[in-house]
A = this chain, B = another copy of it.
Amino acid sequence: MRNFKLTLSYDGTDFHGWQTQPNLRTVQQVLEDGLFSLTRERVRVSASGRTDTGVHAVGQVVNFRSDTRLSPETLLRGLNAHLREDVVVKEAAIVPDAFDANRDAKRKLYRYVIHDGAVPELFLRRYCHHSRYQLDAAAMARAADCLRGTHDFRCFETEWPNRASSVRTIMHLALNRMGDWIWLDVAADGFLYNMVRAIAGTLLNVGRGYWPESEVAAILQSGDRTRAGPTAPARGLFLMRVEYDPA
Protein backbone atom coordinates (compact mmCIF):
# COMPACT_ATOMS: atom_id res chain seq x y z
CA MET A 1 0.00 0.00 0.00
CA ARG A 2 1.37 3.39 -1.01
CA ASN A 3 0.63 6.90 0.19
CA PHE A 4 -0.32 9.36 -2.56
CA LYS A 5 -0.24 13.14 -2.29
CA LEU A 6 -2.30 15.24 -4.70
CA THR A 7 -2.37 18.99 -5.22
CA LEU A 8 -5.77 20.22 -6.41
CA SER A 9 -7.40 23.34 -7.76
CA TYR A 10 -11.13 23.74 -7.67
CA ASP A 11 -13.79 26.28 -8.35
CA GLY A 12 -15.89 26.13 -5.19
CA THR A 13 -18.97 27.74 -6.78
CA ASP A 14 -20.82 24.51 -7.53
CA PHE A 15 -19.53 22.45 -4.60
CA HIS A 16 -21.00 22.17 -1.13
CA GLY A 17 -17.49 22.50 0.23
CA TRP A 18 -14.84 19.85 0.68
CA GLN A 19 -16.32 17.29 3.00
CA THR A 20 -18.61 14.46 1.90
CA GLN A 21 -22.26 14.97 2.88
CA PRO A 22 -25.25 12.86 1.90
CA ASN A 23 -26.78 13.86 -1.45
CA LEU A 24 -24.60 16.92 -1.90
CA ARG A 25 -21.84 17.44 -4.44
CA THR A 26 -18.57 17.91 -2.56
CA VAL A 27 -14.94 17.91 -3.69
CA GLN A 28 -14.09 14.94 -1.49
CA GLN A 29 -16.95 12.95 -2.97
CA VAL A 30 -16.12 13.58 -6.64
CA LEU A 31 -12.46 12.86 -5.96
CA GLU A 32 -13.18 9.59 -4.15
CA ASP A 33 -15.63 8.60 -6.90
CA GLY A 34 -12.97 9.36 -9.52
CA LEU A 35 -10.41 7.25 -7.67
CA PHE A 36 -12.91 4.40 -7.40
CA SER A 37 -13.54 4.42 -11.13
CA LEU A 38 -9.78 4.28 -11.78
CA THR A 39 -8.67 1.85 -9.09
CA ARG A 40 -11.85 0.01 -8.03
CA GLU A 41 -10.82 0.82 -4.48
CA ARG A 42 -12.94 2.81 -2.08
CA VAL A 43 -10.29 5.06 -0.59
CA ARG A 44 -10.67 7.80 1.97
CA VAL A 45 -9.06 11.08 0.93
CA SER A 46 -7.80 13.39 3.66
CA ALA A 47 -7.34 17.12 2.95
CA SER A 48 -5.10 19.71 4.58
CA GLY A 49 -8.32 21.24 5.80
CA ARG A 50 -11.95 21.58 4.80
CA THR A 51 -13.08 24.41 2.63
CA ASP A 52 -16.63 25.70 2.90
CA THR A 53 -19.32 25.94 0.26
CA GLY A 54 -18.24 28.39 -2.44
CA VAL A 55 -14.61 28.68 -1.31
CA HIS A 56 -12.03 28.05 -4.02
CA ALA A 57 -8.67 26.33 -3.98
CA VAL A 58 -5.60 26.98 -6.07
CA GLY A 59 -3.39 24.55 -4.17
CA GLN A 60 -5.32 22.29 -1.81
CA VAL A 61 -3.25 19.28 -0.70
CA VAL A 62 -4.71 15.85 0.04
CA ASN A 63 -3.42 12.35 0.62
CA PHE A 64 -4.78 8.82 0.48
CA ARG A 65 -3.44 5.28 0.75
CA SER A 66 -4.05 2.79 -2.03
CA ASP A 67 -2.96 -0.60 -3.35
CA THR A 68 -3.19 0.63 -6.94
CA ARG A 69 -0.24 -0.14 -9.22
CA LEU A 70 -0.94 2.98 -11.27
CA SER A 71 1.87 5.54 -11.35
CA PRO A 72 1.18 9.05 -9.97
CA GLU A 73 1.33 10.41 -13.55
CA THR A 74 -1.25 7.90 -14.78
CA LEU A 75 -3.45 8.64 -11.79
CA LEU A 76 -3.23 12.38 -12.47
CA ARG A 77 -4.17 12.02 -16.14
CA GLY A 78 -6.88 9.48 -15.39
CA LEU A 79 -8.43 11.61 -12.66
CA ASN A 80 -8.41 14.74 -14.80
CA ALA A 81 -10.10 12.84 -17.61
CA HIS A 82 -12.71 11.56 -15.18
CA LEU A 83 -13.37 14.70 -13.12
CA ARG A 84 -15.72 17.44 -14.17
CA GLU A 85 -14.11 20.63 -15.26
CA ASP A 86 -14.38 22.50 -11.95
CA VAL A 87 -11.70 20.44 -10.23
CA VAL A 88 -8.23 19.74 -11.56
CA VAL A 89 -5.39 17.63 -10.17
CA LYS A 90 -2.22 19.66 -10.66
CA GLU A 91 0.34 17.36 -9.10
CA ALA A 92 0.50 13.75 -7.92
CA ALA A 93 3.33 12.08 -6.03
CA ILE A 94 4.18 9.12 -3.82
CA VAL A 95 5.07 10.32 -0.31
CA PRO A 96 6.42 8.59 2.82
CA ASP A 97 3.86 6.43 4.51
CA ALA A 98 3.72 8.69 7.56
CA PHE A 99 2.68 11.79 5.60
CA ASP A 100 -0.73 13.19 6.53
CA ALA A 101 -1.99 16.21 4.58
CA ASN A 102 -3.95 17.56 7.53
CA ARG A 103 -1.72 16.84 10.53
CA ASP A 104 1.56 17.74 8.86
CA ALA A 105 0.50 21.08 7.32
CA LYS A 106 2.89 23.69 8.69
CA ARG A 107 1.59 26.78 7.01
CA LYS A 108 -1.36 27.73 4.83
CA LEU A 109 -1.82 30.74 2.63
CA TYR A 110 -5.30 32.11 1.97
CA ARG A 111 -6.14 34.97 -0.36
CA TYR A 112 -9.28 37.08 -0.17
CA VAL A 113 -10.07 38.99 -3.39
CA ILE A 114 -12.17 42.17 -3.45
CA HIS A 115 -13.25 44.29 -6.41
CA ASP A 116 -14.56 47.79 -5.78
CA GLY A 117 -15.02 49.13 -9.30
CA ALA A 118 -18.29 50.95 -10.01
CA VAL A 119 -19.44 48.13 -12.30
CA PRO A 120 -18.96 44.51 -11.14
CA GLU A 121 -16.39 42.51 -13.13
CA LEU A 122 -18.76 40.27 -15.00
CA PHE A 123 -16.35 37.50 -15.99
CA LEU A 124 -14.69 37.29 -12.58
CA ARG A 125 -17.80 37.63 -10.44
CA ARG A 126 -17.54 34.04 -9.17
CA TYR A 127 -14.01 34.67 -7.96
CA CYS A 128 -14.21 37.88 -5.96
CA HIS A 129 -16.37 39.84 -3.57
CA HIS A 130 -17.72 42.98 -5.19
CA SER A 131 -17.86 45.90 -2.78
CA ARG A 132 -20.49 48.53 -3.52
CA TYR A 133 -18.33 50.99 -1.61
CA GLN A 134 -15.02 52.42 -2.78
CA LEU A 135 -12.51 51.18 -0.26
CA ASP A 136 -9.53 52.87 1.37
CA ALA A 137 -7.03 50.04 0.95
CA ALA A 138 -4.24 51.93 2.73
CA ALA A 139 -6.43 52.28 5.81
CA MET A 140 -7.32 48.58 5.63
CA ALA A 141 -3.63 47.66 5.43
CA ARG A 142 -2.76 49.82 8.43
CA ALA A 143 -5.69 48.45 10.43
CA ALA A 144 -4.55 44.89 9.67
CA ASP A 145 -1.03 45.48 11.00
CA CYS A 146 -2.02 44.43 14.51
CA LEU A 147 -3.07 40.94 13.34
CA ARG A 148 0.45 39.75 12.54
CA GLY A 149 2.07 37.44 15.06
CA THR A 150 0.63 35.12 17.71
CA HIS A 151 -2.77 36.04 19.13
CA ASP A 152 -5.97 34.53 20.40
CA PHE A 153 -8.15 35.02 17.31
CA ARG A 154 -11.46 33.91 18.86
CA CYS A 155 -13.03 37.23 17.81
CA PHE A 156 -12.74 35.97 14.21
CA GLU A 157 -13.97 32.45 14.92
CA THR A 158 -17.48 31.47 13.88
CA GLU A 159 -17.87 28.56 16.25
CA TRP A 160 -16.29 29.45 19.55
CA PRO A 161 -15.72 27.76 21.96
CA ASN A 162 -14.03 25.15 19.84
CA ARG A 163 -12.44 21.95 21.13
CA ALA A 164 -8.96 23.36 21.29
CA SER A 165 -7.19 26.68 21.41
CA SER A 166 -8.02 29.79 19.39
CA VAL A 167 -4.40 30.90 19.46
CA ARG A 168 -2.78 31.01 16.03
CA THR A 169 0.27 32.64 14.48
CA ILE A 170 -0.07 34.80 11.39
CA MET A 171 3.38 34.72 9.79
CA HIS A 172 2.55 36.87 6.80
CA LEU A 173 -0.22 39.36 6.09
CA ALA A 174 -0.36 41.74 3.13
CA LEU A 175 -3.12 43.85 1.67
CA ASN A 176 -2.54 45.34 -1.78
CA ARG A 177 -4.48 47.29 -4.34
CA MET A 178 -4.04 47.29 -8.12
CA GLY A 179 -6.64 49.35 -9.96
CA ASP A 180 -10.08 48.29 -8.73
CA TRP A 181 -8.71 45.11 -7.17
CA ILE A 182 -7.71 44.57 -3.56
CA TRP A 183 -6.32 41.31 -2.30
CA LEU A 184 -5.60 40.23 1.25
CA ASP A 185 -3.02 37.48 1.73
CA VAL A 186 -2.83 35.74 5.09
CA ALA A 187 -0.41 32.94 5.92
CA ALA A 188 -0.68 31.22 9.29
CA ASP A 189 0.17 27.98 11.06
CA GLY A 190 -3.55 27.26 11.12
CA PHE A 191 -6.91 28.96 10.73
CA LEU A 192 -10.05 28.99 12.84
CA TYR A 193 -13.44 28.38 11.27
CA ASN A 194 -14.23 31.30 8.90
CA MET A 195 -11.25 33.25 10.23
CA VAL A 196 -10.09 34.80 6.96
CA ARG A 197 -13.63 35.73 5.95
CA ALA A 198 -14.25 37.35 9.35
CA ILE A 199 -11.00 39.30 9.05
CA ALA A 200 -11.98 40.36 5.53
CA GLY A 201 -15.45 41.42 6.69
CA THR A 202 -13.90 43.45 9.49
CA LEU A 203 -11.38 45.16 7.20
CA LEU A 204 -14.18 45.91 4.70
CA ASN A 205 -15.92 47.92 7.42
CA VAL A 206 -12.72 49.90 7.92
CA GLY A 207 -12.16 50.33 4.19
CA ARG A 208 -15.54 51.90 3.60
CA GLY A 209 -15.07 54.29 6.52
CA TYR A 210 -17.68 52.70 8.77
CA TRP A 211 -15.09 51.93 11.47
CA PRO A 212 -11.86 53.72 12.40
CA GLU A 213 -8.60 51.87 11.77
CA SER A 214 -8.07 51.41 15.51
CA GLU A 215 -11.22 49.30 15.76
CA VAL A 216 -9.45 46.15 14.52
CA ALA A 217 -6.97 46.12 17.40
CA ALA A 218 -9.82 46.76 19.83
CA ILE A 219 -11.81 43.86 18.41
CA LEU A 220 -8.81 41.53 18.62
CA GLN A 221 -8.30 42.57 22.26
CA SER A 222 -11.98 42.03 23.10
CA GLY A 223 -12.05 38.40 21.95
CA ASP A 224 -15.69 39.03 21.06
CA ARG A 225 -16.99 37.66 17.74
CA THR A 226 -20.03 39.92 17.86
CA ARG A 227 -17.80 43.00 17.70
CA ALA A 228 -16.00 41.91 14.52
CA GLY A 229 -17.39 42.46 11.03
CA PRO A 230 -19.62 40.01 9.16
CA THR A 231 -18.22 36.88 7.53
CA ALA A 232 -17.33 38.07 4.03
CA PRO A 233 -18.79 36.08 1.08
CA ALA A 234 -17.17 32.74 0.22
CA ARG A 235 -16.64 33.55 -3.46
CA GLY A 236 -13.72 35.87 -2.68
CA LEU A 237 -11.71 33.27 -0.76
CA PHE A 238 -8.96 31.05 -2.17
CA LEU A 239 -6.84 28.45 -0.41
CA MET A 240 -3.63 29.26 -2.28
CA ARG A 241 -0.99 26.96 -0.87
CA VAL A 242 -0.26 24.49 1.92
CA GLU A 243 3.32 24.08 3.08
CA TYR A 244 4.97 21.06 4.71
CA ASP A 245 8.39 20.37 6.13
CA PRO A 246 10.74 18.90 3.52
CA ALA A 247 10.42 15.13 3.53
Contact = CB atoms under 8 A, between A and B. Distances in A.
A88 B120 contact: yes
A178 to B, nearest CB: 17
Q: How many copies of this chain are found per oligomer? A: 2
Contacts of A87: 122
A67 interface: no
A52 to B, nearest CB: 18
A88 B119 contact: yes
A123 B127 contact: yes
Is the contact region of chain A dominated by helix, strand, or loop, or is it mixed? mixed
Nearest to A90: B119
A228 B82 CA distance: 31
A86 B56 CA distance: 19
A213 interface: no
A126 B123 CA distance: 9
20 contacts: A9-B122, A9-B123, A10-B122, A11-B122, A11-B123, A11-B125, A56-B123, A80-B119, A85-B120, A85-B122, A85-B125, A86-B122, A86-B125, A87-B122, A88-B119, A88-B120, A88-B122, A90-B119, A123-B126, A123-B127
Interface of A: 9-11, 56, 80, 85-88, 90, 119-120, 122-123, 125-127
